[in-house]
Amino acid sequence: MPMQVPWLIFLLPFLSFLMIGLVLRPFLPRYPRLAGYVTIGAVGISCALSFWVLGAVISSPGHMLPVDDIRWAVVGNLEMHIGVMVDSLTAVMVVVVTFISLMVQIYSQGYMKGDPGYMRYYAFMSLFTACMLGLVLANNILFMFVFWEGVGLGSYLLIGFWFHKPSAANAAKKAFIVTRFGDLGFLAAILILFATTGTFDTGEIYKLVAAGTLTGTTLTWVAIGIFAGACGKSAQFPLHVWLPDAMEGPTPVSALIHAATMVAAGVFLVARFYPIFSHSPEAMLVVAVIGAFTAIFAASIGFVMNDIKRVLAYSTISQLGYMMLGLGVGGVAIGIFHLFNHAFFKALLFLGAGSVNHSSGTFDMRLMGGLRKSMPWTYITFVIGSLSLAGIWPLAGFWSKDEILMNAFSNNPTLFVLALITVFMTAFYMFRAVFMTFHGEYKGGAPSEHGDHDEHPQGPHESPAVMVVPLVILAVMAVCSGWINVTGFFNGLFEGDVEGAVHKIGFLEGFFGTLTHPLPLASLLIALAGIFLAFAIYIKKWISAEKITNAVRPLYTLLSHKYYMDDLYENVIVKTFLYNGLFKLFAMFDTSVVDGTVNGTASAASSAGSALKKLQNGQTQVYAFTIALGVVAIAVVVYLFG
Amino acid sequence: MPEITYSITFYLMAAIAVAAALGVIILRDVFRAALSLILLFMTVAGIYLLLHADFLAIVQILIYVGAISVLIIVAIMLTRDARQGQPLGKIKWVAGIVALALIGVIAWGVINTAFYLSSTPPLEETVKPLGNLLFGNPGYMLTSEIAAVLLLSAILGAIAVIREK
Amino acid sequence: MIMEHIQFIAPEISLLCFALLIVLLDLFITQKRVLPVLSVIGAIVAATFIIVIWNTPPVGLFDKMISIDPFGLFFKLLILAATVLVILASHNYVLKFNKFQGEYYALLMLSAVGLMLLVSAINLITIYVALELSSISLYALVSFLKDKKSSEAGLKYLILGGVASAILLYGMAFIFGLTGNTCLTCIAEYVRGMPFKDLQEVPALMIGLVLIIAGFGFKIASVPFQMWVPDVYEGAPTTITAYLSVASKAAGFGVIARVLMTVFGLPVWLHNDWAMIIAVLAAITMTVGNLVAIVQTNIKRLFGYSSIAQAGYMMVGLAAMGLTMGTKENVTGGLIFFLLSYTLTNLGAFIAIIAISNKINSDEIEDYNGMIKRSPLLALGLTICLISLAGLPPTAGLIAKIYIFSGAVNMGLAWLVVIAVINSVISAYYYFKIAKAMWLGTPVTEEKVDASWPEWLALAACVVGVLALGVVPGLFMNLTTAAVRIFGI
Please write the tens of the pLDDT for every residue from A40-56. 999 999 999 999 988 88
The pLDDT value recorded for residue A600 is: 34
Cα C53 to Cα A36, A260, B142, C6, C322: the distances in Å are 57, 61, 19, 12, 28
| Chain C neighbors (3+ CB pairs < 8 Å) | A, B
Distance between C161 CA and the closest CA of chain A, angstroms: 10
Question: Which is it for the CA torsion B1, B2, B4, B5, positive or negative?
Answer: negative
The pLDDT value recorded for residue C166 is: 94
Q: How confident is the model at residue A598 (pLDDT cuts 50, 70, 90)?
A: very low
Lowest-pLDDT choice from A102-106, A447-451, A465-469, A628-632:
A447-451
Q: What are phi and psi of A338, to 5 degrees?
A: -70, -40
Mean pLDDT of A287-301: 89
Mean pLDDT of C193-213: 86
Mean pLDDT of C135-161: 90
C-beta neighbour count of A186 within 10 angstroms: 26
The pLDDT value recorded for residue A559 is: 76
Mean pLDDT of C50-66: 83
How buried is B89 (Cβ within 10 angstroms: 0-12 exposed, 13-18 middle, 19+ buried)? middle
C-beta neighbour count of A402 within 10 angstroms: 22
- If you count residue pairs, one on A and one on B, with CB atoms under 8 Å apart, how many are there? 36
Q: What angle do CA C231, C236, C237 make, to 5 degrees?
A: 150
Q: How confident is the model at residue A504 (pLDDT cuts 50, 70, 90)?
A: low
C-beta neighbour count of C6 within 10 angstroms: 12
The DSSP output letter for A395 is S
Whole-angstrom distance, CA of residue B55 vs CA of residue A200:
66
DSSP, collapsed to helix, strand or coil, labels residue A312 as helix
Mean pLDDT of C38-46: 93
**Whether the predicted pLDDT of A10 surpasses 50:** yes
Segment holding A630, helix H or strand E: helix A619-641
The partner residue sitting opposite B113, judged by closest CB among C125, C132, C204, is C204
Whole-angstrom distance, CA of residue C238 vs CA of residue C360:
14
Lowest-pLDDT choice from A77-86, C284-293, C331-340:
A77-86
Cα C489 to Cα A78, C121, C195, C328, C483: the distances in Å are 22, 20, 20, 9, 14
Inform me whether the C-beta atom of residue B110 falls under 8 Å from chain A C-beta atoms. no
The partner residue sitting opposite C473, judged by closest CB among A73, A637, A639, is A73
Q: Which residues of B touch A625 (CB under 8 A)?
A: 91, 94-95, 98
Inform me whether the C-beta atom of residue A605 falls under 8 Å from chain B C-beta atoms. yes
The pLDDT value recorded for residue A162 is: 82
**Whether the predicted pLDDT of A79 surpasses 90:** no
Residue type (1 letter), C77: L
Q: What is the CA radius of gyration of chain A?
A: 27
**Whether the predicted pLDDT of A153 surpasses 70:** yes
* The CATH number, out of the four listed (3.40.50.720, 3.40.50.2000, 1.10.10.10, 1.20.120.1200), of the domain defined by the range B3-83+90-125: 1.20.120.1200
Whole-angstrom distance, CA of residue A597 vs CA of residue C194:
48
Whole-angstrom distance, CA of residue C127 vs CA of residue C109:
18
Q: What angle do CA B147, B152, B155 make, to 5 degrees?
A: 125
Residue type (1 letter), A606: S
C-beta neighbour count of C324 within 10 angstroms: 22
CB A526 within 8 A of CB A532: no
Residue of chain C nearest B149, judged by CA positions: C133
Lowest-pLDDT choice from A68-77, A264-273, C35-44, C103-112:
A68-77
The pLDDT value recorded for residue A207 is: 86
Strands A68-75 and A78-84 turn out to be antiparallel
From the candidates A614, A625, A632, A638, which should be mutated to test the interface with B, based on the most B CB atoms within 10 A? A632
**Whether the predicted pLDDT of A618 surpasses 70:** no
Whole-angstrom distance, CA of residue C435 vs CA of residue C453:
24
Percent of chain A having pLDDT more than 90? 8
C-beta neighbour count of A451 within 10 angstroms: 18
The pLDDT value recorded for residue A608 is: 43
Distance between C110 CA and the closest CA of chain B, angstroms: 7
CA-CA-CA-CA torsion for C324, C325, C329, C331, nearest 10 degrees? 80
pLDDT in tens, A511-547: 777 777 888 888 888 888 888 888 888 877 777 777 7
Lowest-pLDDT choice from A326-335, A437-446, A629-638, C244-253:
A437-446
Q: What is the CA radius of gyration of chain C?
A: 21
The partner residue sitting opposite A638, judged by closest CB among C273, C422, C477, is C273
B146/C62 Cβ within 8 A? no
Nearest to A306 by CA among A124, A560, A79: A560
pLDDT in tens, A234-244: 888 888 888 88
Distance between C399 CA and the closest CA of chain B, angstroms: 38
CA-CA-CA-CA torsion for A600, A604, A610, A614, nearest 10 degrees? 30
pLDDT in tens, B2-37: 788 989 999 999 999 999 999 998 888 888 888 999
Residue of chain C nearest B141, judged by CA positions: C62
Tally DSSP H helices, then E strands, for chain B: 7, 0
Distance between A17 CA and the closest CA of chain C, angstroms: 15
Q: How confident is the model at residue A587 (pLDDT cuts 50, 70, 90)?
A: low
Q: How confident is the model at residue A605 (pLDDT cuts 50, 70, 90)?
A: very low
**Whether the predicted pLDDT of A101 surpasses 70:** yes
A72/C474 Cβ within 8 A? yes
pLDDT in tens, A564-575: 777 777 777 777
DSSP, collapsed to helix, strand or coil, labels residue B137 as coil
Whole-angstrom distance, CA of residue A145 vs CA of residue A184:
11
DSSP codes, C452-472? -HHHHHHHHHHHHHHHHHHH-
The pLDDT value recorded for residue A506 is: 72
The pLDDT value recorded for residue A590 is: 54
**Whether the predicted pLDDT of C429 surpasses 80:** yes
The partner residue sitting opposite B79, judged by closest CB among A605, A609, A629, is A609
**Whether the predicted pLDDT of A298 surpasses 60:** yes
Residues sharing a CB contact under 8 Å with residue A29, sequence separation 6 or more, in sequence order = A119
The pLDDT value recorded for residue A447 is: 57
The pLDDT value recorded for residue B102 is: 92
The DSSP output letter for C67 is E
CB A377 within 8 A of CB A472: yes
